[in-house]
Structure 1
Amino acid sequence: MQRILKCIYNPFYAAQRAFRPSRPGAIADLTVRKIQLWRTGLGTAAWLVLVMSYKPVDTAEGVEAVASDKFDQSWTGTLVLVCAFPFVIALFAFAAQGALRGLYLRRSLKPFGSVAALMGSMATFPLAVASDPATTGFRDFIGIPGKVVLISLCTWSLGFALYGIVLCLLHVFRTADIHEVLPPILATLLVWVMAALDVINNENAEVPALAKIVFLLGAPVSVTALSCWELYRLRKYHNVTVRQALGH
């Protein structure tokens, strides 16, 4: 009961409950946790160096634009994860042998729940602020008390969603609840897909070609290296490998 009440008045605590892995018996390795932090931090650092080098941030408008760009990038990365997530989980589960297949599908309920929680929290914003006649009519219908509740819900959802996006990218939609090898695999897939999208959309067109190549490859290469290190550590110290996870 105390946890439920804390989730109600503390959206950041609720986000931790929704997006952090919590499977009983999961490997608790402090070094692996640090690797995950480094993996997320290096991708962010590479982006910040690019922005600070080639975009003006010496005014309030510049800072706001940079913050907006970072949110858009994080949200795009989250959406890419949401799209790739079902296919990777399905491929992983159906590649597993025997009873492992059903086990992984059952374990996927919490990660899928985290996806639903994030999408649900984001859905409250259009209801509160959109100018569509349907939502305007709804806000008029509920009156002042309803608007107070709606604004409170939107404020709660904002904290939940923003912190949730960070945790989703850090814990890769809590896929360690399915198996420990999945977060580094999905993180690597995500970062290369994001790099491909940058190429397709011609992001940072004002950046010199050589610098663009360095920054474009910096995040994918560093994240891939750390993901491989994470898989190596799982194999060396915990006897956990992708083949073993699949029952081969």
Structure 2
Amino acid sequence: MARVKKIRTRVAIVVAVAVLALFGSLQDVDDQLTDHWLALLLTPWLLIVTGPVVLAVLIRCAPADRRRAMRSALRTPLRQLAWFISTLLLVPALVVAVSVADPSQLGGTVGAGLSIACVAAELWAVFLFLFASGAVVQTGFGTAAVHPAAPALLTCILVWELAAVGGLPAGPPVIAYMLLIGGPSTVTAITWWEIHRLRSRYTVTLRSGPNPLRPETAPAMSWRAAVSQPRQ
């Protein structure tokens, strides 16, 4: 399964580069890079909005004797959400702290050193947030603890949401629409395959909830597939 996802991601990159080379301009290349970063920043918030709905449906469809355990497992995604929000708040907190302290007023070597240290701390906080964004998208905020199929379902929903907000890629209209729909369609097919494997190998279905005897069967979430959708 992991190999299939890697192949799919590589093919998407090759196709995107080929379309840009044949039909795109420098502006299209710049738009492609911008869309990728915007998708990386937007995806965690789409997860925060979509995740509770998906988890609520999965818990509601599960047998009554498993719902309590699934609700208890919500502590894992809630804990990861709290860490993510903390990394987000750290950036403006450092900016405000530096503005209030204003180490440049000290002057001399000490003031310059403190100013450089503050800038380095702010950059570190920004990169920490970007890393946290990729991490929470890859794990789906740890939703596999609630249901093994949750990360795959969230990936499938996210790629369609990103395709809806991302707009058409470069190229003739026919090719652009094929790329716009083709990317999410392949992710949907892989998601269906993952869920089928969970059912056939581990007797885990969407309605039955997680198999209490095989809790390690959750498929990994493909964040690269999710963030590559807007302009494939």
TM over 0.5: same fold? yes
**2:138 is the counterpart of 1:170:** yes
C-alpha contact 2:148 2:210 (8 A) present in aligned 1 = no
Deviations 1:82-140 (A, max 9, x none): 211112112222332223222112212221222232233233334455xxxxx3xx434
Identity of aligned residues (%): 21
Q: How many residues align?
A: 202
Q: Give the counterpart of 2:126 among 158, 166, 172.
A: 158
Give distance in 1, aligned partners of 2:7 and 2:68: 33
Q: Give the counterpart of 1:227 among 154, 176, 191.
A: 191
SS of 1:93 mapped into structure 2: helix
Structure 1 partner of 2:98 = 139
Distance verdict in 2 for CA 1:126–1:185, change over 3 Å: same
Q: Give the counterpart of 1:101 among 67, 73, 91.
A: 67
Give distance in 2, aligned partners of 1:62 and 1:212: 13
**1:1-248 matched pairs, under 5 angstroms:** 31=1, 33-35=2-4, 37=6, 51-57=20-26, 66-128=32-94, 135=96, 138-144=97-103, 150-198=118-166, 202-204=167-169, 207-245=171-209
TM-score (norm 1): 0.66
**Structure 1 portions without partners, runs of 5+:** 1-30, 130-134
SS of 2:208 mapped into structure 1: helix
C-alpha contact 2:140 2:151 (8 A) present in aligned 1 = yes
Select the structure of larger CA radius of gyration: 2
Give distance in 2, aligned partners of 1:108 and 1:232: 24
- CA root-mean-square deviation: 3.2
Deviations 1:187-218 (A, max 9, x none): 111111222223xxx444x6421011111112
- Tell me the CA shift for residue 176 of structure 1: 1.3
Distance verdict in 2 for CA 1:189–1:101, change over 3 Å: same
Distance verdict in 2 for CA 1:83–1:226, change over 3 Å: same
- Tell me the CA shift for residue 244 of structure 1: 2.3
Instruction: Give the aligned residue type for 1:182.
Output: A
Distance verdict in 2 for CA 1:226–1:115, change over 3 Å: same
SS of 2:141 mapped into structure 1: coil
Distance verdict in 2 for CA 1:191–1:174, change over 3 Å: same
Give distance in 1, aligned partners of 2:158 and 2:131: 19
SS of 1:243 mapped into structure 2: coil
Give distance in 2, aligned partners of 1:164 and 1:233: 29
Give distance in 1, aligned partners of 2:124 and 2:134: 16
**Structure 2 portions without partners, runs of 5+:** 104-110, 212-232
Q: Bigger shift: 213-222 or 234-243?
A: 234-243
